[in-house]
A and B are shown apart, each in its own frame.
Chain A
Amino acid sequence: MAIKEESYRLSNLKALEAESIGIIREVAAEFDNPVMLYSVGKDSSVMAHLAIKAFYPKKVPFPLLHIDTGYKFPEMYEFRDYYTKKHELDLRIHRNEEALKRGVNPLSVGTVKCCADLKTKALLDALKEGGYDAAFGGARRDEEKSRAKERIYSFRDKHGQWNPKNQKPELWSLFNSKIDPGESIRVFPLSNWTELDIWTYIYHENIDIVPLYFAKERPVIEKNGQLIPVYTDEHEGEVKDVMCRFRTLGCHYCTGAVKSEADTLPKIIEEMMVARHSERITRVIDHDQDSSMEQKKKEGYF
């Protein structure tokens, strides 16, 4: 990754890295109270890594916020605590305790309502309580078609809502950070990265990720064509051990694994290069209804 002597060319990854670091510093300089959303996934790991790089040798000057639904994979909680401690990141955690007490989960109320309570509401409440005027998210434009429409600075009104029809024009790398009290900006420093870029960068930079991304034999059940991991003994009989890994991480109820032999980063990258399905095919919540991601985003979901 070193720059070749007297060559003034940046590799694709170095150019993406420079662009993202520029965005992260710009937000830290212009907003009073920024926060970085940290979902523990691979994109979060990359985004946090970029923040560490942006302010080196000083510490990252804003906190990380994990919106915890309470139903994340156990490996994710373990990794979250390890990663943030290792890099001395200021981690805040927010859960919609009231909804959890009510017993909200995807089986009891369905995925749409569950997401609305445990993710969107929790996120909006946490942003409001923290008084954050800018929140970084790790979304990429190549992920999903409504995300392909996002600006890097995505304006949200007082209720945290997105209006895709009225996005501010965004020219060059000059970002408009003027907002009124109560309004906020979601910032997507990884907008121009692809899934393959993320993996290649993780490989080159040796970035820690949750072990669930690597293939191994895991107990799963098959449900609507998805391989859903099992953490309780209620499915006895249907459970089988399958060599699999996860392309994205979410709540364990709603995230399927893919059959895979890729147990190292180079193998994952090779798998990516020939992938014929999008990474979000395993996310049950994306397929709730037509335009479900766009709808969630309008309401305030990332």
Chain B
Amino acid sequence: MSSDSLIEQNQNIDLLRFATAGSVDDGKSTLIGRLLYDSKSIFEDQLNTIRTFSRAHRNQEIDYSLVTDGLKSEREQGITIDVAYRFFSTPKRRFIIADTPGHEQYTRNMATGASNASLALILVDARNGVVTQTKRHSFISSLLGIRNFVVAVNKMDLVDYSEEVFDNIVNEFNAFADKLSDESVYYIPISALKGDNVIERSENMPWYKGSTLLDYLENVNVSGGRNLVEFRFPVQYVNWGGGDDFRGYCGTIASGVIHKGDKVRVLPSGKTSKISRIVTYDGDLDYAFAPMAVTLCLEDDIDISRGDTIAKVDDLPGIAGSLEANVVWMDSTPLEIGKDYFIKHTTSTVKGNFEEVVHEFDPDDISMKSSEFLGLNGIGKVKIELKSPIFADIYSENRATGSFIVIDPLTNQTAAAGMITKYKQVSPDKACKAVKARIITYTGDKKEEAKVNYDRLSMHGTHCIYVDDDLLQETLCKGVPMDSVKYTEMIDDLCKIATRSGVSVVVCSDHLSS
């Protein structure tokens, strides 16, 4: 094969992102180490380092967990603290593994790994069966929208490769999985340490007729979770200025497809226009789709800032003023009812507060109990009141516009991950007013500072104008003395007209009314 077609082929093979889950000491790191080792994905120099450490500290030839436990404190304690992202490929598929920690303390890191995965590989220790942490991870994976589960029953070598032990775990997990939503679950008995059914079929378990783990991962058909129906374009960055009249809206298409000439509506203003260009560095496109990062230009000059959403005229997201959502709490400071939090959703960050915890889930049996708050690793359904609306969909229909994170404004910590289940719609009119234009004033010799702030605001997509006394004297207020009442009134009127149209004003003058 020529090198060109080899390169091409390598690029076109499919990618599967999966996350590991399960309790501590179930052998996740060992399994990943084994997968990488047996698929010859570990470089020799790295292997030598692992071999030396294993001989010196673990009294064994190779401790496979050292392949992924990359932090010094992890190797010292023999546990996984944070997600390690590992890459490997076979001729059939490329894989990104998020190897996540089992310790309850680090559940947030497990959710981090699972949020971008389309399959969860859940490890169960054959000796211990399905434990709370296995269920917690499975439940979080399910909430995050993962529908493909592989349950690898590990350490079969320590239970004499017993079919009965395996069957019991299958039954136990099946009973639990029935309470999740529509998961497909595949069960494989393995020994990560000895290599049974990981890549090589095990001779120790002739009773097992299914696939080996690698075989399964290479062939499983994973539904993408990508929505190509509703077009959603959260505006990320307004690209303009610098002397020409180009004005484009940069962003990543969250879902759907857009063609040049399509009629679109911009939220929150509700104004409509047509796509005049889909700009990329490689040339203009006739159409683009999720998850492409493009720049859209519109036929009409309308006020659009970062955080706005462009959608097709007849297919709009909800303009959500309040939310009902499932959240996974990740901060050691518990959820506080009524306190202001930042809600980051697509490209907009708004303030919001929790009205109530509708119920908290018990991960053991997905039962609901009433609760006043959620603590670290708590999972519950909540109601959130937003101070400005967001343009949202339900998470199960649209991952990108249905997800958000909660940030504690006091500590800047990411406190929770949220998945929208329901929202209350506000009218577009109200939404428009909620994006308030501001007047930013500077007095004295602050012209340079004012200009810097103006540039910064513009860069960040705020529609604004800049005026100072020199400019006013040359234009609008020509001939009007600066110390006159008339002059002050004229500036005030200018500010009023601008803000009423949603345009902020940066003004540097000593002659303002207040």
Instruction: Write the residues of chain A forming the contact surface with B, with a CB cutoff of 8 angstroms.
Output: 1-3, 6, 8, 10-15, 17-19, 21-22, 25-26, 28-30, 32, 52-59, 61, 141-142, 144-149, 151, 164-165, 167-174, 176, 178-180, 191-192, 194, 196, 200, 203, 266-267, 269-270, 273, 275-278, 281, 290-291, 294-295
Is there contact, CB below 8 Å, between A294 and B15? Answer: no
Is there contact, CB below 8 Å, between A148 and B3? Answer: no
> Bound state CA distance, A246 and B51, in angstroms?
26
Is there contact, CB below 8 Å, between A58 and B82? Answer: no
B86 CB–A CB distance under 8 Å:
yes
Query: Within 8 Å CB of B295, what residues of A?
Result: 56
Is there contact, CB below 8 Å, between A149 and B82? Answer: yes
Is there contact, CB below 8 Å, between B84 and A13? Answer: no
Chain B residue nearest in CB terms to A14: B292
Is there contact, CB below 8 Å, between B281 and A56? Answer: yes
- Find residues 327-357 in chain B having any chain A CB closer than 8 Å to their own CB: 330, 342, 344-345, 347
Is there contact, CB below 8 Å, between A56 and B85? Answer: no
Which listed residue (B3, B68, B86, B257) contacts A267, Cβ 8 A? B3
Which listed residue (A22, A147, A168, A266) contacts B252, Cβ 8 A? A22
Is there contact, CB below 8 Å, between A278 and B414? Answer: no
Is there contact, CB below 8 Å, between B279 and A56? Answer: yes
Is there contact, CB below 8 Å, between A200 and B11? Answer: yes
13 more A-B residue pairs beyond the given contacts A15-B291, A144-B70, A145-B67, with a C-beta to C-beta distance below 8 A: A10-B292, A18-B291, A21-B252, A53-B282, A55-B239, A56-B279, A56-B281, A169-B108, A171-B405, A178-B342, A266-B3, A269-B7, A291-B71
Distance from B512 Cβ to chain A, minimum over Cβ atoms (Å)? 26
- Find residues 88-119 in chain B having any chain A CB closer than 8 Å to their own CB: 94, 96, 108-109, 111-112, 115-116
Query: Within 8 Å CB of A12, what residues of B?
Result: 11-13, 15, 94
Query: Within 8 Å CB of B53, what residues of A?
Result: 290
Is there contact, CB below 8 Å, between B11 and A11? Answer: yes
Complex A-B: 6 CB contacts under 8 Å: A58-B239, A146-B70, A169-B111, A171-B112, A267-B3, A295-B72
Main secondary structure of the interface of B (DSSP, over half): mixed
Chain B residue nearest in CB terms to A266: B3
Which listed residue (B3, B85, B240, B252) contacts A192, Cβ 8 A? B85
Known: A18-B292, A22-B293. A58 touches B242 (CB 8 A): yes
B306 CB–A CB distance under 8 Å:
yes
Known: A8-B228, A25-B250, A164-B71. A53 touches B281 (CB 8 A): yes
B30 CB–A CB distance under 8 Å:
no
Chain A residue nearest in CB terms to B306: A29
Known: A149-B71, A192-B85. A170 touches B280 (CB 8 A): no
Distance from A25 Cβ to chain B, minimum over Cβ atoms (Å)? 5
Query: Within 8 Å CB of B13, what residues of A?
Result: 12
Is there contact, CB below 8 Å, between B70 and A170? Answer: no
- Find residues 29-77 in chain B having any chain A CB closer than 8 Å to their own CB: 43-46, 53, 67-68, 70-73, 75
Which listed residue (B84, B280, B456) contacts A32, Cβ 8 A? B456
Is there contact, CB below 8 Å, between B115 and A270? Answer: no
Query: Within 8 Å CB of A28, what residues of B?
Result: 237, 459
Q: Mark B249-287, 1 if CB is under 8 A from A, else 0.
A: 011100001000000000000000000000111100101
Distance from B96 Cβ to chain A, minimum over Cβ atoms (Å)? 7
Of B170-178, B359-367, B396-404, the one with at least 4 CB within 8 A of chain A:
B396-404
